[in-house]
Structure 1
Amino acid sequence: MKHSIDKQGKNGKDKHVSIDSTPQEKNITYPTGSKLAKKIIDRCVKKAKKSRITLRRSYKRTSKQLLRDTYNATHPKRRKKASAAKRKLKTIAGRLVRELERKLPEGDYAKELELYKKVLAQEQNSKNKIYSLHEPEVYCMSKGKAHKKYEYGCKASVVLTQNTEVIVVAMTFKTNVYDGHTLPKVLEQVGRLTNKATKTATVDRGIKASKLLVIHKY
């Protein structure tokens, strides 16, 4: 990024910038406990086959049918059956995880099995939930959009020079921090890459002005 800014010459050294933060969505399916439990079952069966371990049952057909039973869970006539299917999927997933822990050599897939146990232990109101097995760092963001209440990914900030429209910073955050709390890190990164202190920053109304910064809101 610094090399591309330096190529812009004076255009990349503007002291007046615009900052915007936005969710960067990851390529994951809409997360539900049933989907995650089904994936854990499939992964456990695959790991057992790869390690040449014989499971008591693979639950391949059973888990597939149970996942179908969870569909349309809000319908009054399907609510009871869907709830039972969700519980059964979690039970089967936990059973396979424990069986692998017993039969696998110590240390093999330990990190993955701990991840599976954490997923199965989380409840609807749990904090720091895991929404994807292949992207466990994903978190849930609510930006108040009418058409999309929740978004799953990570928060990203982009900084653009106001007069020359050169992108000088594009960075992501590992935790779901408040937009205003991202400003110090973003401005520090701007100074590091441009070797210029930011004089003014324009942000959206979701960010409250800091006492240490001169900020214009648009």
Structure 2
Amino acid sequence: MKVIFKQSIDLFGEERVRKEVREVRVDTTVQEKNFTFPTDRKLIEKVIGHCRRISEEEDIKLENLRQRNKKLKHQLRFARKPKNMNKLRKAQRRLHKIAWKIYHDLVSQLNPIPISYMKEFDVLYRVLTQKRDDINKVYSVHEPDLVYLRGKNISRMSLRTRVHLRTPGRR
């Protein structure tokens, strides 16, 4: 909210706002986003990708787990049949462990973490630690403010971003 008010003051000038505006009306709504449903597998793969990108930018060598990673992705892709559900769970667990290993390796080698990566590491940590029943889950690594909200009759649930609208009340 503070950011919104600061921007409106910067836009119109502080003196003009004090003279003309007596009240400000703020309303919130949601804006739909065109995202596919974020499965755990997709998010974990994105965490691994982000960690690899950061390690390349900082010239850090990480443990090479690409071959194992490739096999797990293949297992996860074709394990949706009922008789393969145990394989699916095991593969998801292994992929999660690999992501944790890569994340911890990167954090320990980057210690202390540069300020430019702080937000990104915070989001990656939230993705790796979130549980099934958690509130305020991360549904997208590059846009962590996304919320999963109930929609209208047509689309029951969808990914959206909260939007704040403000209009100054004139005298």
- TM-score after normalising by structure 1: 0.58
Does 119-128 or 26-35 show the bigger shift?
A: 26-35
Unaligned runs of at least 5 residues, structure 1: 1-20, 156-171, 174-185, 197-218
Which residue pairs with 1:139 in the alignment? 147
Q: Residue 92 of structure 1 aligns to which amino acid in structure 2?
A: I
User: Helix, strand or coil for the counterpart of 2:135?
Assistant: coil
Distance 1:118 1:65 in 2: 26
User: Cα distance 1:35–1:136, how it changes in 2: closer, same or farther (>3 A)?
Assistant: same
1:28, distance to aligned residue in structure 2 (A): 3.1
CA contact (8 A) 1:35 1:67 kept: no
1:41 to 21, 38, 48: 48
**Structure with the larger helix share:** 2
Deviations 1:149-195 (CA, angstroms, capped at 9, x unpaired): 2111224xxxxxxxxxxxxxxxx14xxxxxxxxxxxx6xx34x16x3
Which residue pairs with 2:89 in the alignment? 83
The within-5 A match list for 1:19-168 is 23-57=30-64, 59-71=65-77, 73-108=79-114, 109-145=117-153, 147-155=154-162
User: Helix, strand or coil for the counterpart of 1:140?
Assistant: strand
1:41, distance to aligned residue in structure 2 (A): 0.8
Distance 2:83 2:97 in 1: 23
1:112, distance to aligned residue in structure 2 (A): 1.7
Distance 1:93 1:63 in 2: 10
Distance 2:156 2:71 in 1: 30
1:144, distance to aligned residue in structure 2 (A): 4.6
RMSD: 2.6
Distance 1:23 1:88 in 2: 36
1:27, distance to aligned residue in structure 2 (A): 4.1
Q: Residue 97 of structure 2 aligns to which amino acid in structure 1?
A: T
CA contact (8 A) 1:38 1:63 kept: no
User: Cα distance 1:81–1:143, how it changes in 2: closer, same or farther (>3 A)?
Assistant: same
Distance 1:42 1:61 in 2: 14
Deviations 1:96-154 (CA, angstroms, capped at 9, x unpaired): 11001110141222332222111111111100000001000001011253x53211122
User: Helix, strand or coil for the counterpart of 2:161?
Assistant: strand
Residue identity (%):
29
CA contact (8 A) 2:147 2:159 kept: yes
Unaligned runs of at least 5 residues, structure 2: 1-27
CA contact (8 A) 1:25 1:153 kept: yes
User: Helix, strand or coil for the counterpart of 1:70?
Assistant: helix
User: Cα distance 1:151–1:22, how it changes in 2: closer, same or farther (>3 A)?
Assistant: farther
Q: Which has the higher contact order (CA 8 A, sep 6+)?
A: 2
User: Helix, strand or coil for the counterpart of 1:87?
Assistant: helix
Q: Rg larger in 1 or in 2?
A: 1
The within-5 A match list for 1:162-177 is 172-173=163-164
